[in-house]
Structure 1
Amino acid sequence: MSDAPGGPEDRPGRLRPTSAGAITAWGVAGLVGGWLLRTLVVRWGGTPPIVTWAQPLALVLVATILGATAYLTWRTVHVHHQRLEPHRAVNRLVLARACALVGALVAGGYLGYAVSWVGVGTELADQRVVRSAVAGVAGIAIVVTALLLERACRVRSDDEEP
């Protein structure tokens, strides 16, 4: 598909790929939210959340499932040249877009939370930094695999040149 203005993606019935701007905006929103979380919880007299290994592992599981789905979709559409049923293609595309945006929000949130603990001299600060950073990287993996799934859903229309 052409990314040029006036190209096939500007015609009715066509979807444009998820924009880098949207992913960046969701990531920045998560970064700010994660960074503010510790400060606001402490200010209100609460205890900041502890990040266990379950959170990063769950995010890695999601990224793995998305990656496997992207690979299988790519193989079906681009290697075996089979068309997906329309409802399956739409479902995978919606899944990819949602996971790309939410993955950016989650990645930013965990990375912001990790940054908020840098230089803090409490008992669990180092643990929170490491686990939050790992969860942030897993969130980035979700974004990457979601974009791969979105790309795997692309098909050449009949009026485009091979």
Structure 2
Amino acid sequence: MSDDQGSLRPTSGAVLAIWAIVGLAAGWLVHPLTDRSGTPPVITWTQPVLLLLVAAIVGAAAWATWRVVHTRRERLDPQHAFNRLVLARACAIVGSLVGGGYLGYALSWVGDGAELADQRLGRSLVAAAAGALVVIVSLLLERACRVRRDGSAD
């Protein structure tokens, strides 16, 4: 989708994978580093709920954008379209990083006999799934903004 007219390519799976791996490594390191200096963080239900809220908001934007561009066949204002693309790309990257981080933190608790290990593991897995959902709806928003080179909906 890239040409001299300033179009953007879709977010690459490789970019999302790299950020997820960075998050995975960082999340894995949180447990041993905080265990040495005190108490590892407890994951509350607030974290996954907030990620689900972000996913719902981005998902609603994706649905509204898709309806306007593909069902009604209307054109989005270029600035609005660009803003939605930036939002989609940023949320996809951050969702990958955060989802990977929670997954890494969850995996660091596998087999640990600590008192709250199961709670940290379970809630971190839910937060990781919510982060993956943020990535999915962000990619859907990005897809909803896509138009053909002739200006019609893709």
The TM-score range, normalised by the shorter chain, is over 0.9
Structure 2 Cα separation of the partners of residues 13 and 105 of structure 1: 27
Deviation at 1:159, TM superposition (A): 7.5
Structure 2 Cα separation of the partners of residues 26 and 55 of structure 1: 19
Query: Is the counterpart of residue 129 in structure 1 residue 121 in structure 2?
Result: yes
Structure 2 Cα separation of the partners of residues 85 and 125 of structure 1: 50
Q: Which runs of 4+ in 1 moved over 3 A?
A: none
2:45 to 50, 53, 72: 53
SS of the residue corresponding to residue 117 of structure 1 reads: coil
Partner residue, 1:3: none
Partner residue, 1:141: 133
Structure 2 Cα separation of the partners of residues 159 and 97 of structure 1: 21
Deviation at 1:10, TM superposition (A): 3.5
Structure 2 Cα separation of the partners of residues 12 and 21 of structure 1: 25
Partner residue, 2:23: 30
| Letter of the structure 2 residue corresponding to residue 78 of structure 1 | H
- Provide the aligned C-alpha RMSD in A: 1.4
| Letter of the structure 2 residue corresponding to residue 35 of structure 1 | W
Gaps of 5+ in 1: 1-7
Deviation at 1:157, TM superposition (A): 2.3
TM-score by length of 2: 0.95
Identity of aligned residues (%): 59
Q: C-alpha deviations, 1:111-162, integer Å up to 9, x for none? A: 00000011100110000000000000000000000000000011122288x8
Q: Quick one: structure 1 residues 112 and 149, their matched pair in 2 at CA, closer, same or farther if it must change by over 3 Å?
A: same
Q: Number of paired residues?
A: 153
| Letter of the structure 1 residue corresponding to residue 131 of structure 2 | G
Structure 1 Cα separation of the partners of residues 74 and 29 of structure 2: 48
Partner residue, 2:12: 19
Partner residue, 1:95: 87
